[in-house]
Amino acid sequence: MATAESTETAGPADTADTGSDQDYFEEFPVSARLVRLNFLVAFVALGIGGLFGMLQALHRTDTLRILSSPDYYTLLTGHGVLLALVFTTFFIAGLFTWGVSDSLGRELPGDWISWSWWTMMTVGTVMATVAILGGLIDQIPMQADVLFTFYVPLKAHPVFYVGVVLLLVGSWVAGFDWFRTFWAWRKDNRGERIPLRTFMVLITMLMWYLSTMGVAVEVLIFVLPWSLGIFEQIDPLLTRSLFWFFGHPVVYFWLMPAYLVWYTILPKLSGGRLFSDGLARIVFVLFLLLSTPVGFHHQYIDPGIAEGFKFVAMTNTMFLLLPSFLTAFTVVASMEHGARQRGGSGYLSWLRSLPWDRPAFTACALAGLLFAAGGFSGMVNAGMNLNYVVHNTLWVPGHFHLTVGTAAALTFMGISYWLLPQLTGKKLRGRALAIIQPYLWFLGMTVLSNAMHRGGLMGLPRRTAEPEWNLVEGDFASGVGALSEVQLQIAVGGVLLFTGVVLFLLVMLLTWTGRQAPSIGVDRTIPPALSGPENSPRILDNYRLWFGIAVVLVVIAYGIPLGDMVADGLLNPGSPPISP
Ligand code: CU1
């Protein structure tokens, strides 16, 4: 795939030179099949999880109450698990499979290991979903109304935890699959720079291996044996801390794939090229270093953790803003370059020259815009003093609907408009719907998230089913008028967002079930960066070094407090289970 552009710059493209002008699914049939299977599960989860979200928004705002209160928590768990854990993980697995195979110019091995990880993740998802739905359906003798954070002593049926473990282990094996594809490429390409997309996948997975250790220990050593009745009591503080050891980095597990799209595909969709390959690599290395030693910023209110370690977590969190600011700069610079290639000019009027009628572009650009807002509310969450004001209020879900719910989810939906034709050999159908969909999502999320933030400042609690209780709290805080306006906006936002999910799934269904076309009309080459890898230090590719430093930082941030908790737990065995 030698591009014309590579002759006019020094930098090589982020695509191996295969000399092929085939479509992706023809060149890599095995990888394409894997990607399609992952996207299939992701889209089913998105549909169910999205529906649950709308029903919750209508229930807790007293707009439409067809749920009992216990069922509200079942749907809340389903919404969180199916969207934040299942939709994301499967979509990312598909995206990474595409990114590695396409940028290395190499198929995944496609042996039993390649199929085992998808199978494991899918079986795990079905198990966890069945356990959750047991809360709604009398015929299923299980429940898992423990929300996606599954805090103990709330206790779910063991099948739920086994399902979560399978999803997790499957993702580890998937990472191994990408690493071994890379190692095979390395044998034939000694001394070459790691292609950018593969570099991003490997760094993200190293971050994932490090951070999932927390939740793996939590579930396998503590929660699962406890839910099986092997021991009776459990330590809430220790298990929460292990959860958040994983729970903050999981945010970056959602975002780094969105960044992969913004750095490598968005510049091309804008009509230009990535501004700097080196900055992109630095950003990913910083995420590997800083994503994990920050989890205590979710536990400022928890007793039993020394303030000093909370302060370390806060400082590291604020350092994490740096790679996000670097990303904002690099991505906007790349978009501006694209706009100027398309004839744009002026200080800001180049914005008009961007392809706002291209759904993949619009989705990524709008996702980035709302992510900036999410970053600002995230700074409030991360500040030890301000956190006390918003902790456990609706502000927090308002924040993460901008990050995972838009920066990640809208980017994933948007890039599907570009990827699905390449994966199936079919032209995008329902294009008019696809053009509207990102704008609808943007509008719905602006309304919903703004109202959630405002509601949080009024004292509306999160994780509550009862509108009456919300009203009492709201009255107390700032009067019924403002509160009912906020409630209405949450209901309207929820309906708009679910409509956005339906439009997206409709376009996917129409496209997927269409006939194969001789030409899908998508150019899949990724142009080289303006400042290519030859300008970025080679040490950035030394992922073993960065992983080693990341481990040291985690030991500094977590070693003493976790050690204290374990020692304490030996004296105080903890809490008996509570069945919701
Ligand atoms: Cu966090």
Characterize 52-89 residue by residue with b for buried, 16 or more Cβ atoms within 10 angstroms of its Cβ, and e for exposed: bbbbbbbbbbbbeeebeeebbbbbbbbbbbbbbbbbbb
Comparing 83-87, 124-128, 312-316, which segment has the lowest mean pLDDT? Answer: 312-316
pLDDT for residue 472 is more than 80: no
The catalytic position among 161, 296, 400, 498 is 400
Give me the residues near ligand 1 (ion), CB cutoff below 5 Å.
248
Between 53-67, 188-202, 351-365, the lowest mean confidence (pLDDT) is in 53-67
pLDDT of 6 over the 80 cut: no
Q: In terms of residue numbers, what domain contains 398?
A: 355-518
Please report the pLDDT score of residue 351 as a whole number.
95
How far, in Å, is the centroid of ligand 1 from the Cα of 299?
10
> Annotated catalytic residue: which of 240, 248, 358, 454?
248
Q: How far is the CA of 12 from the centre of ligand 1 (A)?
A: 36
pLDDT category, 483, cuts 50, 70, 90? confident
Could you give the number of structural domains in the chain?
1
pLDDT mean across residues, the chain: 91
pLDDT at residue number 575: 73
Q: In angstroms, what is the span from residue 296 Cα to ligand 1's centroid?
A: 8
The answer to whether 462 touches 391, Cβ cutoff 8 Å, is no
Residue 479 confidence (pLDDT): 53
Tell me the pLDDT tens digit for each residue of 207-244.
999 999 999 999 999 999 999 999 888 888 999 999 99
- 462, part of any domain: yes
Nearest of 419, 320, 309, 313 to residue 363 by alpha carbon: 419
pLDDT band at 2 (very low <50, low <70, confident <90, very high): very low
Tell me which H or E stretch contains 415.
helix 409-424
Q: Ligand 1 mean position to 554 CA, how many Å?
A: 15
- Nearest to residue 508, comparing CAs of 565, 423, 393? 423
The answer to whether residue 497 sits within a structural domain is yes
Compute, in angstroms, the gap from residue 246 CA to the centroid of ligand 1.
9
What pLDDT, in 10s, does the model give residues 362-389?
A: 999 999 999 999 999 999 999 999 999 9
- Rounded to 10 degrees, the C-alpha dihedral 329/331/333/334 comes to 160
User: What's the CA-to-centroid distance between 393 and ligand 1, angstroms?
Assistant: 15
Q: What's the confidence (pLDDT) of residue 520?
A: 84
Give CA–CA dist 439/474, Å, rounded. Answer: 31
Q: Which of 399, 429, 454, 524 is catalytic?
A: 399
CA 467 to centroid of ligand 1, rounded, Å: 28
The one catalytic residue among 161, 179, 199, 252 = 252
Q: Which of 319, 431, 463, 547 is catalytic?
A: 463
**pLDDT at res. 470:** 55
Among 66-80, 296-310, 348-362, 477-491, the least confident range:
477-491
Ligand 1 centroid from CA 250, angstroms: 9
What pLDDT does residue 1 have? Answer: 35
Instruction: For residue 298, indicate whether it is catalytic.
Output: no
pLDDT band at 20 (very low <50, low <70, confident <90, very high): low
Cα of 294 to ligand 1 centre, how many Å? 7
- Does position 3 have pLDDT exceeding 50, yes or no? no
Ligand 1 centroid, distance to 427 Cα (angstroms)? 39
User: Ligand 1 centre from 297 Cα, in Å?
Assistant: 6
Is residue 390 classed as helix, strand or coil in its secondary structure? helix
User: Does 383 reside within a domain?
Assistant: yes
- Cα distances from 20 to residues 154, 426, 472, in angstroms, run 55, 19, 65
Tell me how far the alpha carbon of residue 412 lies from the centroid of ligand 1, in angstroms. 21
**Is 70 exceeded by the pLDDT of residue 464?**
yes
Q: Answer yes or no: 524 catalytic.
A: no
Q: In 265-320, which residue ranges form alpha helices assigned H by DSSP? A: 266-269, 277-290, 307-319
Inter-residue contact 167 to 131 (CB < 8 Å): no
Does some domain include residue 103?
no
Distance 438 CA to ligand 1 centre (A): 26
Question: Residue 455 has which token pair?
Answer: 């509601």
pLDDT of residue 466: 76
One of 462, 504, 524, 558 is an active-site residue; which one?
A: 462
Active site residue 245: no
- The tens digit of pLDDT for each residue in 109-147 reads 999 999 999 999 999 999 999 999 999 988 889 999 999
Assess whether 399 carries a catalytic annotation: yes
How high is the pLDDT of residue 73? 93
Average pLDDT of 422-446?
A: 96
Q: What is the pLDDT of residue 8?
A: 35
pLDDT at 461: 87
248 is catalytic: yes
**pLDDT beyond 50 at 541:** yes
Is the bond into 153 cis (omega within 30 degrees of 0)? yes
Weakest mean pLDDT among 13-22, 248-257, 499-508: 13-22
Instruction: Mark whether 252 is an active-site residue.
Output: yes
pLDDT score of 4: 37
Mean pLDDT within 326-334? 93
400 is catalytic: yes
Distance 249 CA to ligand 1 centre (A): 7
